[in-house]
């Protein structure tokens, strides 16, 4: 028992080292194929998180319009970094639906004021039910939904300026 | 020529570190006095040369020598002198040179001042310090040369991030680095003691002042950094659980645990292996923190340049140093004799409890900080936010407060529950009173701040209990240090809880002449006019603020525009009162002449940093008290 305890710190460090090394040497591969791609959006309805923003219901997704569902949170730093890109998408006429995970109305209102507000609607996914139903484990993540209500692309991580061509292509392909 | 002189100083310092290592091995084996003297002198010379190199870089920045690449990319001739100097460490190469300089100077400090430790352990310690220095010299000279020239030299520099043009930057990073790298001494002491197997009260007493000093700098650095982020970022927040902040918190948590366990080792000769472990962990956390910050592998609001080559280099150093020290721990600690034992209800017991809780918090912060990497290894990119950290860390911190209250009331070795119970009555009464008051006067407040305020009230009273029944004049300085530091914890927690429970925020778009209310304040926007500074221009608002039933004052928040490089920043205007701060930010204006204003009323928010500085002051008193006492003991012995 004592021997195990004595060597445990080194073992733990080896684990952390392997983890960090893999993170450093293999840059994030963001083109992960999602199990949800090609499938219809799971049925869900979320109440509105902030006053003045409509609630979200997936029933309305099959109306012929292409949408971007953005799973995000006011407490997430990469979400602030991707806000300018979402604003650009909005200006190009993309309807962006926000799914706010584990968030509070006041915090979200703050976030929208500081980072900008590209969202047509923001659903309150306080217990992360919809996030998990979408097959998303973290924030931010974005899903392209085609006019039939099917997921055609899952983008894991924040949408940086370098990701914009890919997102725009996916949105165009979904039309 | 000056730049080449600095580079030469670095190379010579690196060579001296190598000689220091070789001689230290000899001295640790033979214990020969002449060798030991040589090691001491070389350590001093090495530290002096590192300092010279750093001073050279500062000179280059002050002179705005644009033929030096680093100066050209990070400075500008139009920058105020203070920020030219601060610019020296406001970049990767300069901050790494500062790191190495502190490492060298700390080693020199040990060589000059450490007289109590037995010769072989001291030699091993200085040898370990030389190994640390060598790796970072190599990193600097091979992957981060700060003295690189650029040809042709540009006409002027590319400026410095305007967020960093703030007096806060002049002092915050160097203070933190003194803390981070100061912990290297504890690390080297632990490695030295493991090599010679001399782990006992003498070793602990020798190590304690170094740990204390590094810990004081860390405490002040974190406190100042938090305040800097608070007023400079203009977000009204004071802690964001950002990876870079966590990188400074983790060594602090480990050093705080170490500070308490080293006292057990010094006073009662207990917790030998655990203290060694903490000494290794504390500096390891400093290095991991630096690595996380410098490699850019975690997404952070502190945008540092991402460079995988440098990341790989530091990672290799981490593997060698941390892996090596932990392997040495595994090999040697089994042969370190068990120290003395103690009962569960005793000062030692409370300190062990305190150490466990601090370690749990450290674990929470560590996991939360690194979890995005785990996710990335599994193919995902995500961020863990304050909800996780707060939910996980706050309850443990509340338990820690109880341990902090109880510890100083207990006797060493063995005490009785009943004795503890009697002493806990008064603080408990204070906590319950605070709890009842809050529940009656502010029902519906979240349990975290309520718990925090109640615990802070208890600890504020409890921290003074150790002074009861003592002759205050004869009470040793380090006891006052402890009392003040623990009181500081209570003050800081009460500020955090008060801000999160009672802050009021108001956002409004107002025209000149209109008035907005936040908390007990009425603020009128009387004017927005352009103003100009050394290297920026700004729009400055005048807010005439009246507090209910009080007199008026003016605040001037600004939107600043920097030309080099072109950036806009919000300069918050803050009014500090005895019971809190009014924090105002000027946002953008619209075509109709409306200006966006953000106002916060933050009751007792200043207590957060007041408490932080009290903790540091307590540490300083303890350090002075301990050093004086040791010196007196030495004189008595002589």
Q: Which residues of A touch B240 (CB under 8 A)?
A: 77
Last residue of a domain, one of B117, B138, B165: B165
- Which ranges of B469-606 does DSSP label H, i.e. alpha helix? 477-502
Query: A44-85 pLDDT, tens per residue?
Result: 889 999 888 888 988 888 888 899 999 998 767 677 778 888
Distance (Å, rounded) from C-alpha A15 to C-alpha A21?
A: 10
| pLDDT at residue B314, as a whole number | 83
- What does the pLDDT read at residue B520? 93
pLDDT in tens, B66-81: 999 888 888 888 888 8
pTM for the complete prediction? 0.82
A15 interfaces chain B, CB cutoff of 8 Å: no
Domain range spanning residue B516?
Answer: 504-603
* Chain A: closest CA distance from residue B53 (Å): 31
Choose from B322, B373, B376, B595 for mutation: most chain A CBs within 10 A. B376
**Mean pLDDT score, B91-96:** 87
User: B298 falls in which pLDDT band (50, 70, 90)?
Assistant: low
Distance from CA of B288 to the nearest CA of A (A): 10
Question: What is the predicted pLDDT for the residue at A30?
Answer: 41
> Which domains are delineated in chain A?
29-174 (3.40.30.10)
- A27 contacts in B (CB within 8 Å)? 308
Q: Which of B577, B490, B619, B627 is nearest to B220 (CA)?
A: B619
In a domain? residue B495: no
B307-328 residue pLDDT tens:
667 778 888 999 999 999 999 9
Q: Tell me what the mean pLDDT of segment A133-139 comes to.
A: 77
Classify B504 as helix, strand or coil.
Answer: strand
pLDDT for the residue B50: 97
Pairwise CB contact (< 8 Å): B383 & A79: yes
Contacts of A13 in chain B (CB under 8 A): 284, 322-323, 326
B552 found inside a domain: yes
Q: How confident is the model at residue B179 (pLDDT cuts 50, 70, 90)?
A: very high
Mean pLDDT value of segment B238-256: 91
Q: What is the mean pLDDT of chain B?
A: 88
B524 within domain boundaries: yes
More confident residue, B334 or B191: B191
Cβ contacts of B370 on chain A, cutoff 8 Å? 16, 19-20
What is residue B510's predicted lDDT score, i.e. its pLDDT?
A: 84
What per-residue confidence (pLDDT) applies to B302? Answer: 45
pLDDT in tens, A92-117: 889 999 999 878 888 788 888 877 89
Provide the pLDDT for residue B381. 58
By the CB < 8 Å criterion, does A75 face chain B? yes
Contacts of B373 in chain A (CB under 8 A): 19-20, 23
Tell whether A100 lies on the interface with B, counting CB pairs under 8 A.
Answer: no
pLDDT digits (tens, 9 = 90+) for B586-635: 877 766 677 878 899 999 999 999 999 999 999 999 999 999 988 888 78
Q: Which of residues B165, B194, B227 is at a domain's end?
A: B165
Q: How confident is the model at residue A121 (pLDDT cuts 50, 70, 90)?
A: very high
Write the CB contacts of A149 (distance below 8 Å, at least 6 apart in sequence): A40, A41, A58, A61, A62
Mean pLDDT of all residues belonging to chain A: 83
Contact A156, A132 (CB under 8 A): no
Strand order through the sheet with A141-145: A119-125, A95-101, A67-72, A141-145, A151-156
Percent of chain A residues topping a pLDDT of 90: 18
Interface contact B323-A13, CB threshold 8 A: yes
Name the domain count of chain B.
2
Residue B125 CA, distance from chain mean position = 24
Q: Does pLDDT of B306 surpass 60?
A: no
Calculate what percentage of chain B has a pLDDT beyond 70: 94
Whether the predicted pLDDT of B468 surpasses 60 = yes
Question: What is residue A34's predicted lDDT score, i.e. its pLDDT?
Answer: 59
B532, burial (CB in 10 Å: exposed 0-12, middle 13-18, buried 19+): exposed
Question: pLDDT tens digits for B507-528?
Answer: 777 889 989 899 999 999 999 9
| Per-residue confidence (pLDDT) for residue A29, from 0 to 100 | 43
Is B10 part of any domain? yes
Is B60 within a domain?
yes
User: Is A22 in Cβ contact with B383 (below 8 Å)?
Assistant: no
Query: Across the A/B interface, how many CB contacts are shorter than 8 Å?
Result: 109
pLDDT of residue B42: 96
Question: Residue B312: which of A9, A22, A24 has the nearest Cβ?
Answer: A24
Domain end: B130, B149, B165, which one?
A: B165
- Residue B41 in any domain: the answer is yes
Nearest Cβ partner of B315 from A21, A79, A157? A21
- Helix orientation angle between B607-637 and B477-502, rounded to the nearest 10 degrees: 170
Contacting residues of B for A156, CB less than 8 Å apart: 379-382
Residue B543 lies in a domain: yes
What does the pLDDT read at residue B241?
Answer: 87
Has residue B20 been placed in a domain? yes
Residue B590 is predicted with a pLDDT of 67
| A23 Cβ under 8 Å from any chain B Cβ | yes
Question: How many Å apart are CA B387 and CA B300, to the nearest integer?
Answer: 17
Could B299 and A2 be called an inter-chain contact, meaning their C-beta atoms sit closer than 8 Å?
Answer: no
For the ranges A85-89, B22-26, B153-157, B312-316, the one whose mean pLDDT is highest: B22-26
């Amino acid at each position: 028992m004592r021997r195990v305890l004595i060597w445990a710190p080194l073992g733990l460090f080896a684990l952390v080292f392997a983890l960090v090394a893999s993170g450093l040497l293999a840059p994030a591969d963001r083109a992960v194929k999602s199990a949800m791609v090609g499938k219809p959006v799971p049925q869900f309805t979320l109440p509105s998180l902030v006053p003045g923003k409509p609630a979200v219901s997936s029933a309305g997704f099959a109306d012929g319009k292409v949408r971007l569902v953005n799973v995000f949170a006011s407490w997430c730093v990469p979400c602030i970094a991707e806000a300018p890109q979402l604003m650009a998408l909005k200006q190009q006429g993309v309807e962006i639906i926000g799914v706010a995970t584990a968030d509070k109305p006041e915090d979200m209102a703050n976030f929208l004021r500081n980072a900008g507000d590209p969202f047509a609607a923001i659903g309150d996914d306080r217990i992360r039910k919809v996030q998990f139903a979408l097959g998303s484990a973290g924030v931010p993540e974005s899903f392209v939904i085609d006019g039939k209500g099917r997921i055609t692309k899952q983008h894991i991580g924040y949408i940086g300026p370098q990701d914009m061509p890919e997102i725009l292509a996916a949105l165009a392909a979904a039309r | 020529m000056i730049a080449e002189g600095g580079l030469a100083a670095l190379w010579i310092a690196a060579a001296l570190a190598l000689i220091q290592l070789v001689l230290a091995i000899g001295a640790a084996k033979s214990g020969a006095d002449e060798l030991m003297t040589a090691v001491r002198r070389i350590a001093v010379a090495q530290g002096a040369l590192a300092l010279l190199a750093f001073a050279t870089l500062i000179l280059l920045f002050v002179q705005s020598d644009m033929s030096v690449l680093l100066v050209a990319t990070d400075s500008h001739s139009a920058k105020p002198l203070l920020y030219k100097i601060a610019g020296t460490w406001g970049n990767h190469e300069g901050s790494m040179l500062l790191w190495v300089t502190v490492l060298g100077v700390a080693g020199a400090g040990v060589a000059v001042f450490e007289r109590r430790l037995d010769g072989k352990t001291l030699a091993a310690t200085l040898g370990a310090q030389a190994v640390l220095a060598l790796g970072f010299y190599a990193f600097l000279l091979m992957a981060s040369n700060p003295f690189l020239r650029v040809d042709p030299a540009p006409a002027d520099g590319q400026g410095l991030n305007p967020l960093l043009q703030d007096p806060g930057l002049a002092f915050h990073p160097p203070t933190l680095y003194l803390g981070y790298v100061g912990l290297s001494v504890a690390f080297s002491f632990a490695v030295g003691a493991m090599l010679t197997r001399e782990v006992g009260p003498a070793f602990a007493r020798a190590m304690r002042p170094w740990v204390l000093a590094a810990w004081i700098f860390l405490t002040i650095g974190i406190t100042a950094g938090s305040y800097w982020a608070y007023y400079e970022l203009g977000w009204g927040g004071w802690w964001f659980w950002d990876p870079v902040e966590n990188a400074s918190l983790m060594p602090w948590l480990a050093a705080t645990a170490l500070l308490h366990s080293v006292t057990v080792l010094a006073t009662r000769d207990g917790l030998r292996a655990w203290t060694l472990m903490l000494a290794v962990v504390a500096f390891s956390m400093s290095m991991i923190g630096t690595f996380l910050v410098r490699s850019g592998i975690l997404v952070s609001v502190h945008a540092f340049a991402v460079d995988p080559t440098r990341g790989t280099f530091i990672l290799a150093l981490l593997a060698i140093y941390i892996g090596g020290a932990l392997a040495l721990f595994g090999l040697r600690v089994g042969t370190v004799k068990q120290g003395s034992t103690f009962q569960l209800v005793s000062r030692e017991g409370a300190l062990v409890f305190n150490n466990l809780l601090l370690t749990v918090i450290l674990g929470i912060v560590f996991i939360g900080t690194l979890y995005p990497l785990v996710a990335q290894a599994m193919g995902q990119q995500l961020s863990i936010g304050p909800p996780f950290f707060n939910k996980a860390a706050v309850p443990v911190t509340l338990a820690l407060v109880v341990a902090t209250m109880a510890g100083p009331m207990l006797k060493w070795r063995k005490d009785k529950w009943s004795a503890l119970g009697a002493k806990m009555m008064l603080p408990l009464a204070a906590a319950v009173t605070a709890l009842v008051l809050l529940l009656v006067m502010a029902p519906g407040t979240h349990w975290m701040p309520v718990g925090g305020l109640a615990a802070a009230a208890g600890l504020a009273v409890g921290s003074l209990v150790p002074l009861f029944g003592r002759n205050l004049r004869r009470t040793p300085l380090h006891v006052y240090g402890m009392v003040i530091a623990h009181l500081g914890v209570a003050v800081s927690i009460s500020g955090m809880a008060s801000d999160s429970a009672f802050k009021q925020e108001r956002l409004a778009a107002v025209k000149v002449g209109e008035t907005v209310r936040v908390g007990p304040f009425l603020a009128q926007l009387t004017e927005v006019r352009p103003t100009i500074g050394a290297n920026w221009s700004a729009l400055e608002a005048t807010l005439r603020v009246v507090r209910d039933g009080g007199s008026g004052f003016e605040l001037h928040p600004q939107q600043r525009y920097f030309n080099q490089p072109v950036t806009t920043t919000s300069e918050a205007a803050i009014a500090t009162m005895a019971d809190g701060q009014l924090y105002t930010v000027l946002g953008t204006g619209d075509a109709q002449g409306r200006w966006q204003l953000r106002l916060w009323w933050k009751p007792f928010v200043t207590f957060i940093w007041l408490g932080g500085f009290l903790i540091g002051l307590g540490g300083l008193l303890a350090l002075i008290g301990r050093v004086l006492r040791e010196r007196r003991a030495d004189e008595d012995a002589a």
